[in-house]
Amino acid sequence: MGVRVGVLSLQGDVSEHISAFRRTLVSMGDDTGCVVAVRHAKEIPLLDALAIPGGESTTISRLIDKNSMRNAIERFDGGIFATCAGMVLLAREVDDTRVRPLGLMDMEVARNAFGRQRESFEAIIPVKGLEDPYHAIFIRAPVATATGAAAEPLASIDAGIVAIREGRHMAFSFHPELTPDIRLHRMFLKNLGI
């Protein structure tokens, strides 16, 4: 296989994403693949997949521009796996003008849809494509409030859409990298034909 997964390493829970994708590659029998921290635009075209981690979306948005990475991410032809702040960044439209989204998924996102850190929670949710429900961890989470025709919602709760797929990209308002459950990582890589 030899899959090369990069994790955008500007801010956020980078090490957790690296660990989760390494476990996933091992579980899929890919002993030649690798997961790398990505800090420079020139590294992005060399990848098969890119993870954009949770963190602070306004900060990550500014750092993408400060490090001249926006064009490389927007032109990336691999798949993007985005969690929490990453979901905000992939959106077409965000309810906060301080975030300059990448516009790679046809969705409108409400940033911090559940309030502050103390409103963080866990929930067992059904996810399209998974046989059993998923234990999701929501930390100052966003939700998608609207989607275009090409975007496929995979999971919703009362507040809105919390998992979505469009083409090669998948976005989650929760944090799959913080659980031992790698089913969503496997789904993402299989969606890429890996």
- Active-site residue, from 17, 43, 108, 175: 175
Q: Can you give the C-alpha Rg of the chain in angstroms?
A: 15
Would you mind telling me the total number of residues written for the chain in this entry? 194
Find the catalytic residue in 84, 108, 166, 185. 84
Active site residue 56: no
Cα distance between residue 109 and residue 141, in whole Å = 10
Active site residue 175: yes
Q: State the Cα–Cα distance between residues 46 and 36, nearest whole angstrom.
A: 11
Give the largest CA-CA distance in the chain.
Answer: 43
Task: Note if 119 is an active site residue.
Answer: no
- The catalytically annotated residue of 16, 43, 166, 177 is 177
- With a CB cutoff of 8 Å and minimum separation 6, the contacts of 30 are 1, 2, 3, 194
CA distance linking residue 151 with residue 148, whole number of Å: 6
Chain Cα centroid distance, residue 7: 10
Q: SS3 for 34? A: strand
Active site residues: 84, 175, 177
